[in-house]
Structure 1
Amino acid sequence: MWHQKQMFEQLINEQVEPEKVEILKQQFQQALNGNSEAMVEIALFYKRVELFDGMHYWLNAAINHSDSGGFFELANSFFEGLGVEVSEQRAFYYYEQAAKQHHPDAMNNLADMYLNGEGIEIDEGAALAWFLKAATAGVVEAMYTLGIMYEQGIGTEIDEDKAFTYYEMAAKGGDSEGLYRMGMIYFQGELTRNQSYEQAMKWFQCAADIFHVDAIYNIAYCYENALGVEKSSEQAIRYYKQAALLGDGASMLKLAELYEGVRPQEAEKWRQAAQQD
């Protein structure tokens, strides 16, 4: 059924934007011809339209060709329970197969499972080893986690210089948590770095640009208290509002506090919003 070309073409004509139909037709033909990467692409199409039997048909075809992407997506399906019962053990197995072929995200997910004891007993040393491999492959989430592990001595001795290095790598790779952590390192003078509100603001701003709500709150706090910037109630309110609109209750209370005695109705509005948060 799932390898029938006519049925597939009818489905994509109903489900897909016209400009993408021809690409999917070509990928389907490539999959029929034995191209494992095309098999994974067809499986992902079936995933998007929530036809999970079709997804599993093509993922199983892909892993019969030892395709790392096929192993990775099959692991995701068992981890999330897409068309199958959730099975951390089977997810672990398939992530491991993909990771052994140097699939970056599979290496990171396998490390997570070792760290959290999902589908396998907790093994912090194995987690560290796989996070290192994933970080080397460019996975910014792995870099950030390595920062935590070296800072807290998880699976290794505490090494504040290495912690800082990996947090910085994650931040420079665009990871929002890495950017925020760099801000906090300078804000509080941690990991042997001198306190610098100016540096903290730089990193908070980068994190705020990708909607990290705690970073937005901290920018507002710095403007309110003249930390690394000139005091500006206007800018403080602007950033507290941004964070509040993203659902941050602490920012709502700050707005209520700043408007108290100046704009009572506005203060009450934010106070009520915080209570409902």
Structure 2
Amino acid sequence: MPIKIPDQLPALSILGNENIFVMSEHRAANQDIRPMEMAILNLMPNKIETEVQILRMLSNTPLQINVDLVRIHANPSKNTPTSHLESFYRLFDDVKGKQYDGLIITGAPLGLMDYEDVSYWDKIQDVFDWAQNNVVSTMFLCWAAHAALYHHYGLNRQVRDQKLSGVYRHDVTKAHEKLTRGFDDEFWVPHSRYGEVTPEDYQSIPHLQILGQSAEAGVYLVASEDKRQVYVTGHPEYDPSTLDEEYRRDLAADLAPDIPVNYYRDNNPDNAPSSKWRSHGSLLFNNWINYYVYQITPYQLDAEHIQTSITGE
């Protein structure tokens, strides 16, 4: 089954050209099923690029998914046309009365800022709290993962002197966990961040489980025992070219970035990148939707039934 997105969203034609099954709103209106309701809170400056990446990851599930693209505020964007935002995005304040099966909160280029200095920190905290009562399972990506850990548990990240950038080998750390079902014992994930939370900090929270980590990149995948929170510190959704684009951008800004490790062939930025994480990324999103969303979400999606399905009462 496909994801359902607006008829004119650029991602529709991009993914269609990749032979990815997406369904327009017009076609979906003629089907009588209970689709999954998914919100993507997109905090990235280039929203079109990020929405395509995440929609691509969601597209391989056999379930039909209705997607709401959400933004945190109505401020003008330097990297996304206003017409695109007004046509395809809803403000969080306009959807907070709705309940969702799943929520994805993206990263944001805020790795060197204190959380309290972020202009929308109060608002993102409202989102974190709202999700506890109105969303079955939330996936936090990169900056959002560290921000949510700080908000919910007081775990503050350490800031690295040099940006962690590259594709790193990871190990599955908990056998027979549904979120990592089908993972190879070793798998690769892109990272692009300054922040880091230590394994000891994660382990200080009894109901958080480390499911994947790297000797070089640290903890990557963490989930709560009740499946309601999934923390992903890397970027399994990245396109093959994304790290290269970030590297070239930082070079042009005279930031003297390190060459992303394990990324370019022969570690030479004059060569093409080597993509080796896409199958893992697709499997991670599929497992999350199936085992952490679909398998526990109530058929009647409202706040009361969400709480009942989670507590079992």
Which TM-score applies when normalising by structure 2?
Answer: 0.27
**Greater strand fraction, Structure 1 or Structure 2:** 2
**Greater helix fraction, Structure 1 or Structure 2:** 1
Larger Rg: 1
Which TM-score applies when normalising by structure 1?
Answer: 0.29
